[in-house]
Amino acid sequence: MTPEDAIKAEVRLLALESIVCQVFATLFQTMPREIFDAVKRRAMEGARRQTFPGLDAAYSDLISAEFEAALTRLYSMIQHHLDTAQKGQPR
């Protein structure tokens, strides 16, 4: 994969993540904030316990850490959209 192809793939992934987070923020706006907080908390707890059987232990730990970091980033994006909407500011 060329550097240009890698950049294109990363930007496409970022665009998808952004759209998904906006959609979920719109959904969570219709609910009490406690629901979002509970869903986020359960997801993060599950990510911390996630293992990848069949892989070398060190590699499984690396993938688990990356998975947790990705979820943290996505839930932070959703939370940003919720906080911005709550303040009545444009996203």
Residue 87 is predicted with a pLDDT of 79
Q: Which are the contacts of 33, defined by CB distance < 8 A and separation ≥ 6? A: 82
Which residues, 6+ apart, have CB-to-CB distance to 53 below 8 Å? Answer: 60
H or E element: which one contains 22?
helix 3-29
> Would the CA dihedral through 64, 42, 83, 91 be positive or negative?
positive
> Taking the mean position of all CA atoms in its chain, how far away is CA 71?
4
Residue 3 is predicted with a pLDDT of: 94
Tell me the pLDDT of the chain (91 aa) as tens digits: 899 999 999 999 999 999 999 999 999 999 999 999 999 999 999 998 888 889 998 999 999 999 999 999 999 999 999 998 877 755 5
The residues near 45 (Cβ < 8 Å, ≥ 6 apart) are none
Domain residue limits, the chain: 3-86
Instruction: State the pLDDT at residue 1.
Output: 86
